[in-house]
Amino acid sequence: MRFIHHAFTDPAFNLAAEEWLLRNAETDVFMLWRNAPAVIVGRNQNTLSQISESFVRERGIPVIRRLTGGGAVFHDLGNLNFTFISLGHETPALDFRRFTEPVIAAMRTMGVDCEFDGRNDLTIQGRKFSGNAQHVLRDRVLHHGTLLFASEIADLSGALRVDPEKYRDKAVKSVQRRVTNISSHLVEPMSVTEFAGRLMTHVAGGAPLGDLDLRADEIRDINRLADSRYRTWDWNYGASPKYGFTRSTRTPGGLLEVHMEVRDGIIAGLRLFGEYFGVLDIAGLEDRLIGCRHDREAMAECLADVDLDQYMRGVDLPAFFDCLF
């Protein structure tokens, strides 16, 4: 098994590193890594229905889609992530217990009594500190999980807070549970770096660790994959399943009710109702946005030469866009 513990904290790079290693690793891999603040959504989720769009936009928090299924999670530098890549399975199947057992055993050596709970969680006294997911590629399995060590849990709840009534879709929903930080349960205080070192040593089982860094050629190829997939709107938002969006909002021009259909991240249908006054038929505004990405910057480009006041008196673009998310 190859052991990796690198210092990169770019979430797009780190998710690309997992995929690149899954496709190209020559031996089994165990990797530890951390992300700067980011929201990571599951492969089968509607991104906008999982996040507080205004919260992550105002704070510049990137939202990245991962390769595996499951729910949305918030990452920061107080969260340690682990990845197993296992090769050579004749009939690979999802097996969460197998890959979480070394983590549970390592934490128990540090005096933390934890257990596997539900489908894919690890808990301490019934409170979640780790969510896990897997992806199978031919005879290879990628298993990864979060380890909340000293995460800013207030930021976690704010980034993932969204009104469930606004979105109608069949995508996977996140199930929120009470969470806890590992650092609150340690017998011996330690930093996240020290914790990572102990976890790595335990999983290695006494085997020589060698160089834990990624090679220069691997970093180059991983960055290429990150640019082509994990740093793109098409992957992070456009790959969402088809969804409907409905919202009623009080604006300076009166009540505005939005009904929208979105496919592949593109607005396919739009109806606007409300108490507002306007000189021009609202259908003209609806038509301008059909075919546009459900994204603030893209919609601003679509309406760059439109006098919105002619359609909805007293409503400016920021207020209008707030109604569409």
At residue 174, the pLDDT reads: 62
At residue 308, the pLDDT reads: 93
Compute the distance between CA of residue 202 and CA of residue 210 in angstroms, rounded to an integer. 15
**Residue pLDDT, tens place only, 7-58:** 999 999 999 999 999 999 999 999 999 999 999 999 999 999 899 898 899 9
Confidence label for 175 from pLDDT (cuts 50, 70 and 90): low
Average pLDDT over residues 239-266: 92
Residue 183 clears pLDDT 70, i.e. is over it? yes
> What's the mean pLDDT when you consider all of the chain?
91
**Residue pLDDT, tens place only, 288-311:** 999 999 999 999 999 999 999 999
At residue 110, the pLDDT reads: 95
Tokens of 320: 């209008």
Residue 276 clears pLDDT 90, i.e. is over it? no
Residues making up the chain, counted from first to last: 325
**Residue pLDDT, tens place only, 119-163:** 889 999 999 999 999 999 999 999 999 999 999 877 767 888 666
Tokens of 85: 């890549």
Helical axes 192-204 vs 96-109, angle rounded to 10°: 120
At residue 164, the pLDDT reads: 66
Tokens of 284: 């003209």
Average pLDDT over residues 63-80: 93
At residue 172, the pLDDT reads: 61
Confidence label for 84 from pLDDT (cuts 50, 70 and 90): very high
What is the rounded (10 degree) CA torsion for 148, 152, 156, 158? 170
Confidence label for 92 from pLDDT (cuts 50, 70 and 90): low
pTM: 0.87
**What percentage of the chain reaches a pLDDT higher than 70?**
94
CB atoms within 10 A of CB 80: 25
Compute the distance between CA of residue 23 and CA of residue 175 in angstroms, rounded to an integer. 30
